[in-house]
Amino acid sequence: MMKTTLARLTAMAAPFVLALSLGSAPQLVGAQTPPAPQAAASAAAAVAAPEKPAAPAAAPTAASTTTAKVDNPYGVGALWSQSDAVAKAVLAILAIMSMGSWYVIVTKLLEQMRMGRQARAVDNEFWNAGTVQAGTARLAEGSPFRFIADAGMQATQKHDGLRGKVDFADFVDLCIHRATERVQRRLGNGMSLLATVGSTAPFVGLFGTVWGIYHALTAIGVAGQASIDKVAGPVGEALIMTAIGLAVAVPAVLGYNWLLRRNITVMDDVREFSGELHSVILAGSATA
């Protein structure tokens, strides 16, 4: 009976054993994959392998290393190229005024220095001569002192006819005084230009300023809004005009005052020479 019972249990368990064997077949197939230790070794090798260096970044181009030159749209050059005929005329007038004033300043300064040297030469050459005629010949051509000395010598030769009825001393004094006044007028040539430039250049620059502000207001009206790009150009033009006008006027005024003071010093030497020459001619007119 025991054997009969075991046989029955075996027959009943046979289907379950067969099912279990069939269910484990995929696991056997999966067992063909690499074992866990080999997979871990492959991952460690991949980590330990050095990474390939990344491709170097492209070198910056020459255009990026060099700073591009940006033109100033509000400079003096842009002012001339973008301005109208009125603004260009104002700039041209100011340029002419500046060149004229500097020309007068330089030439008058050189003339005054030359007359100073000639005044010092008079003491060594003219007054040590025996006669007025001999002393006059020693003076340099074109010298104001020689011009006055020649006028005094001619006065002694022209004192005849109707001129002879005038007192000799008065006639000589008149001729020397006339020559001295001519020297003073020649020395003052160009001073009126400096005075004119110094007094009118600021107003010429102010006219350019007003014209620039007019353009600024026109640009605002056309644009309908007061944006900085519409106002910066005309306002910059106005400010540059004002600066140029002052730059022209200030040297002219300073040069005028400086040269006028030097003229006074030079004319003192000329008048001193004229007075002494008058006295010498009266004292020895016959042997002059």
Q: What is the pLDDT of residues 46-58, one digit of tens each?
A: 444 444 444 444 4
- Amino acid 257: pLDDT: 95
Residue with tokens 């010498």: 280
Residue 67 lies in a domain: no
Domain total of the chain: 1
Residue 166 lies in a domain: yes
Residue 201 lies in a domain: yes
Tokens of 108: 């008058």
Residue 62 lies in a domain: no
Tokens of 124: 């060594």
Residue 250 lies in a domain: yes
- Amino acid 181: pLDDT: 92
Residue 248 lies in a domain: yes
Phi, psi for residue 167 in degrees, rounded to 5: -55, 140
- Amino acid 83: pLDDT: 66
With beta carbons less than 8 A apart as the criterion, state whether 267 and 187 touch: yes
Residue 220 lies in a domain: yes
Residue 63 lies in a domain: no
- Amino acid 154: pLDDT: 85
- Amino acid 73: pLDDT: 58
Give the whole-angstrom CA distance, residue 44 versus residue 259: 97
Q: What is the pLDDT of residues 139-180, one digit of tens each?
A: 888 888 989 888 888 888 887 777 777 788 888 888 999 999
Domain of 140, in residue numbers: 76-283
With beta carbons less than 8 A apart as the criterion, state whether 72 and 78 touch: yes
Q: What is the DSSP letter of 35?
A: P
With beta carbons less than 8 A apart as the criterion, state whether 143 and 118 touch: yes
With beta carbons less than 8 A apart as the criterion, state whether 237 and 87 touch: yes
- Residues of the chain under the 50 pLDDT cut: 2-3, 6, 17-68, 70, 286-288
